[in-house]
Amino acid sequence: MKQDIRRRLQEISQAKGQEYGKIVQKLLAIAFCEAGAARLTDRSTQGIDLEVTLAGGRKLALEVKTSQSEKVVFGKKDIKGLCGRKSEGLTPYLALLGPRALDEWIFARFVEGEILPDRCYALTALRAYRDAKLEELVRDAFGAAVVTHATAAIEGGQGALDAVIQRYECFASA
């Protein structure tokens, strides 16, 4: 990840503390809209974090996690939500962003029975499930979203980014 993008993410993290993960989720939602998503649902408090329909009709369910270490744990509700969306025809993913300067998004396909709740996973281990094309789809758009909306995120938090997301044609309320 470019230095200016990582620096802005660090500024957001320092300013917003516990809210950081949800803010990054909203920046990712903006990136999907900018990358041409046909439909996007952002859930801040319940269920799977993002549901995205890509331009070609492919439907994704994403559980978004940011990590201040190089490891992540998925709760039972995360796993249950991904399994539920899979049964509804969405492809389940874990969207993971680590803390290191060179960390990029990892979009890991969720495989039921292989990724279990309440276990600690190294981000590097989850790369075995990655979808490089999906990562490439949002890479530049995410960086642009961070640079463009970091100040709004710092000053107005999730609400400011919600207002941005709602202006996109692809946005669908939860």
CA–CA distance, 160 with 149 (Å, rounded to integer): 9
- 115, 109 contact by CB (below 8 A): no
pTM, two decimals, is 0.95
Q: What is the pLDDT of residue 37?
A: 97
Name which of 140, 151, 80, 74 is nearest 104 in CA terms: 140
Q: Which CATH class is domain 3-166?
A: alpha beta
Nearest to 148 by CA among 5, 3, 14, 2: 5
pLDDT at 81: 93
Residue with tokens 């939860």: 174
- Block means of pLDDT (10 residues each) for the chain, length 174 residues? 93 95 97 97 84 95 93 94 93 95 93 94 95 97 97 96 96 82
End-to-end CA distance of the chain: 30
pLDDT for res 174: 67
Q: In the chain, what are the domain boundaries? A: 3-166
Distance CA 33, CA 37 (A): 5
- 49 backbone dihedrals φ, ψ, rounded to 5°: -65, -50
How far apart (Å, rounded) are the C-alpha atoms in residues 58 and 37? 10
Q: For residues 10 and 135, what is the distance between their CA atoms, to the nearest angstrom?
A: 21
User: Dihedrals φ, ψ of 112, to 5°?
Assistant: -60, 135
Query: CA–CA separation, 82 vs 6, rounded Å?
Result: 28
Q: How far apart are CA 174 and CA 119, in angstroms?
A: 29
Q: How far apart are CA 67 and CA 103, in angstroms?
A: 11
Residue 29 Cα to chain centre, angstroms: 7
